[in-house]
């Protein structure tokens, strides 16, 4: 594992993707759209189009498989977004979930103080226009609303700023209903909401986002070993995704949160620099202890295999942003490549080199011509494949142009049906990464695709 103890920015981004290119491609190909764009857009909110929702769902499915199906002692949960407001008092969010802010009296821009230089803060000058800054004040990041007809203190409710608390308050329910024994984990994917002061870098920091979290409950004294084990497992997971591993590193938190014993982040080298992708934290027994205090309920675990010992478990947390994973996969897969085809040495293509298990479309079926029964044969092949693979069908334009469209969408395989297909029952299988083309008997196509996906290794 790559590991750094200082939050340095020594390595500069050298990839071909820029946020401008990613944003443009995302809209053009239907990955991500600005929310409410026809009304000028809603800041900090984004809509996932046909390819985007497929990509997001595949990332979520791979994470869910990794965290639940491949572990005998991890189960799933889907907790409500609305929770009793005392939950957020116990967790510390009501009191501590704040950012200090300053405003410019002249241009009305708003800044987090940690994003303004000490010189500007000391002189109270706006970094944008030079106007006067206000004094710093704390701003709570939770969205507050009211439930029921009356808007008073008794009706206050919050949109959850994280999904972890839903796991903690259900911990005893899951022990009792599923007969779980420590160590065990609870996994959850769900939306969270934060009234971010600054939303930028496309979908990296937004007001509405999705988290993929797993909280692992362990006996005190075994927490350090479990913490290191989960660090290793989470690092290995990104290798499975086919991510460029030299674009990942560890960041160790020297200044720990009030609940943490140890904390590391996996950071990815985005176009805007190193940014957090996933956190692995040793949260001790702080959260369960606080909920026991505020609810009056006993949150101890009774160890029936060890003389009925009682203790409040420690928690090892792995918390990844699903939304950020989508952006990471888009940036990581993006490539621009000069190709020489048909004697043209100045041809360029944009290609998304998704792992086949993540690609929104696995295989595209392309009839060489619409006529002479080729389109009908191509549609039949698509029907044969679509139970097992995400498919697309495209019969418009020159075949080379259609290949380029599929490259830009990240489709790993294209199947071309031509006149030879009618004669001998073979089709052309084209590979996205290498652009190699081979003839494959139609009857063997499904098996060949399965073999290629299983043995896939990214080479660029």
pLDDT digits over 123-138, tens only? 989 998 999 999 888 7
Q: 426 is written with which tokens?
A: 């073979």
Of 91-100, 113-122, 269-278, which has the strongest mean pLDDT?
269-278
Question: Does pLDDT of 23 surpass 50?
Answer: yes
- In the numeric block, which tokens belong to residue 234? 């989470």
Share of the chain above pLDDT 90, in %: 75
Does position 13 have pLDDT exceeding 70, yes or no? no
**143 vs 265, more confident:** 265
Q: Does 6 score more than 70 pLDDT?
A: no
Please report how many Cα atoms fall inside a 13 Å half-sphere around the Cα of residue 29, on the Cβ side: 26
Query: What's the rounded Cα separation, in Å, for the pair 80 and 297?
Result: 20
- Structure-block tokens of residue 47: 């809509």
Q: Looking at residue 210, what is its pLDDT?
A: 96
* CA distances (Å), origin 46, targets 30, 431, 442: 12, 32, 41
The answer to whether the CB of 414 falls within 8 A of the CB of 406 is yes
Run of H or E including 222: none
The whole-number pLDDT of residue 201 equals 87
- Reported as type and span, the H/E element at residue 288 is helix 286-295
As a whole number of angstroms, the distance between CA 22 and CA 25 comes to 5
Q: Residue range 402-414: average pLDDT?
A: 96
Comparing 21-35, 67-81, 104-118, the range with the smallest average pLDDT is 104-118
Closest to 287 in 3D by CA, of 315, 319, 253: 315
Give the per-residue pLDDT at 110: 78
CB 354 within 8 A of CB 334: no
Cα separation values, 341 from 389, 429, 459, Å: 29, 17, 20
DSSP assignment of 361-413, as one string? Answer: -SEEEEES-SSTTHHHHHHHHHHHHTTTS-EEE--SS-HHHHHHHHHHHT--E
- pTM across the whole model: 0.88
| Cα separation, 440 vs 425, whole angstroms | 9
> What average pLDDT score do residues 18-43 get?
94
- List the one residue out of 28, 59, 6 whose CA is nearest residue 328: 59
Distances (CA, A) of 440 to 387, 444, 448: 20, 7, 8
Using the structure block, give the residue that is written with the tokens 């005893």: 172
Q: What are 169-200's pLDDT values in tens digits?
A: 999 999 999 999 999 999 999 999 988 766 67
At 140 the pLDDT is: 72
Whether the ω angle into residue 183 lies within 30 degrees of 0, i.e. cis, is yes
Cα–Cα distance for residue pair 347/244, rounded to 1 Å? 26
Average pLDDT over residues 34-46: 92
Q: What was the pLDDT predicted at 344?
A: 52
Write out the two tokens for 90. 């116990």
Q: Which two tokens stand for residue 442?
A: 């139609």
Of the candidate ranges 35-44, 287-296, 325-334, 438-447, the one whose mean pLDDT is the lowest: 35-44
7 pLDDT tier (thresholds 50, 70, 90): very low
The answer on pLDDT for 404 being more than 60 is yes
Burial class (CB in 10 A: 0-12, 13-18, 19+), 232: exposed
Q: Name all domains of the chain by residue range, CATH numbers in brackets.
A: 3-87+165-329 (3.30.930.10), 361-454 (3.40.50.800)
The answer on pLDDT for 446 being more than 70 is: yes
pLDDT digits (tens, 9 = 90+) for 331-388: 999 999 988 755 455 588 999 999 999 999 999 999 999 888 999 999 999 999 999 9
Structural contact between residues 211 and 320, judged by C-beta atoms closer than 8 angstroms = yes
Report the C-alpha gap between 173 and 274 in whole angstroms: 39
Give the DSSP H/E element, type plus range, for residue 331. helix 322-333
How far lies 43's CA from each of 37, 107, 158, 200, in Å? Answer: 10, 18, 20, 9
Q: What is the pLDDT of residue 365?
A: 98
- Assess contact for 428 and 437: CB atoms under 8 A: yes
- The average confidence (pLDDT) of the chain is 91
What pLDDT shows up at residue 197? 67
Contact assessment for residue 294 and residue 90, using Cβ atoms and an 8 Å cutoff: yes
Compute the distance between CA of residue 26 and CA of residue 48 in angstroms, rounded to an integer. Answer: 9
């Amino acid at each position: 594992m790559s590991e750094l103890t200082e939050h340095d920015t020594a390595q500069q981004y050298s990839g071909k993707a820029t946020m401008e290119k990613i944003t443009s491609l995302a809209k053009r190909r239907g990955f991500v759209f600005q929310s409410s764009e026809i009304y000028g857009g809603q800041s900090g909110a984004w809509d996932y189009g046909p390819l985007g929702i497929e990509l997001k769902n595949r990332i979520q499915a791979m994470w869910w498989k990794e965290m639940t199906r491949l572990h005998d002692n991890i189960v799933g949960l889907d907790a409500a977004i609305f929770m009793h407001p005392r939950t957020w008092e116990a967790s510390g969010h009501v009191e501590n979930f704040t950012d200090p802010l300053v405003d410019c009296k002249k241009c009305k821009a708003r800044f987090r103080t940690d994003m303004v230089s000490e010189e500007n803060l000391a002189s109270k000058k706006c970094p944008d226009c030079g106007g006067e800054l206000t004094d710093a004040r704390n701003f709570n990041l939770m969205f507050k609303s009211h439930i029921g007809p009356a808007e008073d203190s008794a009706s206050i409710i919050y949109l959850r700023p994280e999904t972890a608390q839903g796991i903690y308050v259900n911990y005893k329910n899951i022990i009792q209903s599923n007969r779980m024994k420590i160590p065990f984990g609870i996994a959850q994917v769900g939306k969270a909401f934060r009234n971010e002061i600054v939303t930028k870098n496309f979908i990296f920091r937004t007001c509405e986002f999705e988290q993929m979290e797993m909280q692992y409950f362990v006996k005190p004294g075994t927490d350090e070993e479990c913490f290191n084990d989960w660090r290793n497992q989470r690092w290995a997971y990104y290798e499975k995704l086919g991510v460029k591993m030299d674009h990942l590193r560890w960041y160790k938190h020297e200044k720990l949160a009030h609940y943490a014993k140890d904390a590391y982040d996996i950071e990815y080298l985005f176009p805007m620099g190193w940014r957090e992708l996933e956190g692995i934290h040793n949260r001790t027994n702080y959260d369960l202890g606080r909920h026991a205090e505020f609810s009056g309920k006993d949150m101890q675990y009774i160890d029936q295999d060890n003389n009925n010992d009682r203790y409040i478990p420690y928690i090892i947390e792995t918390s990844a942003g699903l939304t950020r994973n989508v952006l990471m996969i888009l940036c990581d897969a993006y490539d621009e490549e000069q190709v020489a085809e048909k004697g043209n040495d100045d041809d360029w293509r944009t290609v998304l080199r998704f792992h086949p298990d993540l690609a929104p479309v696995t295989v595209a079926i392309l009839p060489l011509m619409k006529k002479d029964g080729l389109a009908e044969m191509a549609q039949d092949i698509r029907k044969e494949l679509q139970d097992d693979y995400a498919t697309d069908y495209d019969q418009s334009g020159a075949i080379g142009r259609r290949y380029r469209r599929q490259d830009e969408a990240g489709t790993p395989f294209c199947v071309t049906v031509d006149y030879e297909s009618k004669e001998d029952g073979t089709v052309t299988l084209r590979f996205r990464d290498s652009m190699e083309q081979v003839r494959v008997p139609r009857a063997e196509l499904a098996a060949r695709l399965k073999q290629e996906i299983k043995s896939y290794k990214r080479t660029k």
